[in-house]
Each structure stands twice: as structure tokens, then as C-alpha cells.
Amino acid sequence: MPRIFVTRPFADEGINMLKAKKYQVDVYEHDEVIPRKELLKRVVGCDALLSLLTDKIDAEVMDAAGSSLKIIANYAVGFDNIDLAAAKERNIVATNTPSDDVNRSVAEHAFALILALAHRIPESDTYARAGRYKGWSPNNLIGTDVEGKTLGIVGLGRIGMSLAKKAVHGFGMKCVYADMRRNKEFETEFDARQLPLDQLLKVSDFVSLHVPLLPSTKHLISTEQFALMKKTALLINTARGPVVDEKALLRALRTKRIAGAGLDVYECEPAIDCDMSDKLELKQFTNVVLTPHTASATIEARQAMSRVAAENIIAVLTGNDPINPAK
């Protein structure tokens, strides 16, 4: 009987699918990141490892599992936590969990950050709760509309395209994008233009990041890029934290080089700030909206991720190709 080790409890649909196949499913009992020693102990002899993005799955883990390990199914769209080269050397399949549900949820969250910043909703909430609201004022907490503004999408994958649909068709925004590949169909549907990144940064009112974390995308947005952006521009990051150089972002906020940022991910996650000694904190800026890596935290998205992870495991353990190979 194949044995599956799951590194943390999560949405149950996928777990139930694996149990229905009569697999032995061993789930780490605690709702926390599994300690390294416990991970190395629990993977021994498993046929499939269902991991989370918070788990570092490297050669040591794969060797601890042994020759029985056939698949690492990552419960995430991203897979920068897995050493793909080490997996390939050991003939272990690695998969991820993209789905329409996840794309939609992350895109909705990105747009929620856009609206929250544009209309200064968190600031207004804090203001009202603090008892500072004494009556209507024509000049209080002035924000900006999004209709007619330009949204720059960096990385035109499925999430980026889902965001464009909401922004252009739903809210009347204009759209430009930066990507390695041109998408003429997208351009036609959304009246969009492909631009080099530096040009996109110059013309965009909102810049939303949707690239994977690769050596080429680490600190993709840094001091040079902030210098190109409009002073009224707002940055949104629901991709991966290290895509943005945190030090450069803090300087851009402090000097009012940009108007604000909406962040769901952080360079030194789970820490919100990498360096507390510099007395600059993202949390101190009222024009920064922070969410705790919850862009895909909807019932629909998390159940879909669970199902896709299980489908990948079932496919590989029954001798078929994975549905979503990580590559």
C-alpha cells in the first residue's frame, strides 16, 4: 500500500481522495511548519510527499525518504521551496497546484489591494475606529479612482490575465504588460500593450507583480526601478517577497518616491521586515497595506489546491504522467 506523508493539515478534499484510493495517508498533526528533524523522520519510506511552500524540500529530505519516493506534490502554485535539480537527479517528479480557482482568488486579492490603497480604506478604518471622525469634510482622506488609470502587469501568466479581466472589463482600467512572450490574443481582448519593464514602470499608475521567484527575478524591483515609477504610483506584490528589494522599497516609501504599496508577501517571510536595526519598518507606513500571504486563502482556492495535489499524486502512483509538473 503506497504511503503518503502530508507535512501539515489543510483542506480535506484532496486528503479524502487519497484515502479513497486506500493509500496510507500520514498527516503531520500540528497546524504549524513542521520542524526539520520531524520532517526528516516522517518522510522515511514514503512513496509521495505532499509539501507546502513553507517546507524546504532539498536533497537531504529526498535522501531521507529513500528510493521509494516517487513524487513531491507541492500544495502551492510556486515551487521555489523545492530543489528541482535534486529531484530530477533522483527521478522524483515534482508538481504544483495551479487552477482557475487559485488564479481567480489571487487576482481578486491583488485587486482588493489596489482598491484598498486607492480609496485609503485601511487608513479610513483606523481613523474611524480611533474616534477621529467628527463629521464629513471635503478634504479628509482623499484617495483616487481606478477607472481610466493604467495597470501595469509584470508577468502575464494566468493570474495576471485574471487580474486584467477584472481591471479592464470590470473597472474600466487601461492595461500594459511586461512578459518574455507577446500575447496578441490578450492584447486584442484587453486593448493592452506589451512594454519593456522600464517603460511599463514609467506609464503605470498601479504596478502588480505576478512573476515566479527565480534568480532572474530576485530584486526585479529595486532602486533603479522605483526611480522610473510615477510618484503617484502604487506597487502590488502577491507573487514572492524577494521579487522586491525591501531596502529599496523602504527608501522609496520614506522619500515618497512612490505613493504606496500593497504587499501579501515579504522578502524575509514570515518576518514583515528583514532588518529591524535600521528603524525603518513597513508597518510604520500608513500608505502600505499588509496581508499575511493570504492571497489564495479562500475556501474555493484551497480546496482546489488540495484536489490538484491529490490528482498529481494519484496519477504518478498509478504509472501516469503528472497533471501539473513543476517546471
Domains of the chain, by residue range, sit at: 3-96+299-317, 101-290
Burial of 216 (0-12, 13-18, 19+ CB in 10 A): exposed
Residue 132 annotated among the catalytic residues of the structure: no
pLDDT value for 156: 96
pLDDT tens, residue by residue, 72-108:
999 998 898 999 999 999 999 999 998 999 999 999 9
Spot the catalytic one: 3, 193, 251, 293: 293
**pLDDT for 16 beyond 90:** yes
In this structure, which topology does domain 3-96+299-317 adopt according to CATH? Rossmann fold (3.40.50)
Residue 60 annotated among the catalytic residues of the structure: no
pLDDT tier at 276, thresholds 50, 70, 90:
confident
Residue 293 annotated among the catalytic residues of the structure: yes
DSSP for residue 166: I
> Pairing between strand 193-194 and 24-27?
unpaired
- The one-letter code for the residue type at 74 is N
Long-range contacts of 264-269 (CB under 8 A, 24+ apart): 264/109, 264/110, 264/113, 264/237, 264/238, 264/291, 264/292, 264/293, 264/294, 264/295, 265/237, 265/238, 265/239, 265/240, 265/241, 265/293, 266/241, 266/293, 267/241, 267/242, 268/241, 269/241, 269/293
**pLDDT for 279 beyond 80:** no
**pLDDT for 131 beyond 90:** yes
DSSP for residue 276: G
Cell triple for residue 184? Answer: 496578441
Positions of E strands within the chain:
3-6, 24-27, 48-52, 71-75, 93-95, 150-154, 174-178, 193-194, 206-209, 234-237, 260-263, 288-290
pLDDT tens, residue by residue, 27-81:
999 999 999 999 999 999 999 999 999 999 999 999 999 999 999 999 998 898 9
Burial of 199 (0-12, 13-18, 19+ CB in 10 A): middle
Cell triple for residue 252? Answer: 522609496
Spot the catalytic one: 240, 257, 302, 307: 240
pLDDT value for 2: 95
Tell me the C-alpha distance between 288 and 280, whole Å: 13
Homologous superfamily (CATH) for 101-290: NAD(P)-binding Rossmann-like Domain (3.40.50.720)
pLDDT tier at 1, thresholds 50, 70, 90:
confident
pLDDT tens, residue by residue, 302-326:
999 999 999 999 999 999 999 999 9
User: What mean pLDDT comes out for the span 273-283?
Assistant: 82
Q: Do 3-96+299-317 and 101-290 show the same overall fold? A: yes
pLDDT tier at 175, thresholds 50, 70, 90:
very high
DSSP for residue 34: P
pLDDT value for 168: 98
206 has which bridge partners?
A: 151, 234
pLDDT tier at 327, thresholds 50, 70, 90:
confident
**pLDDT for 202 beyond 90:** yes
pLDDT tens, residue by residue, 223-243:
999 999 999 999 999 999 999
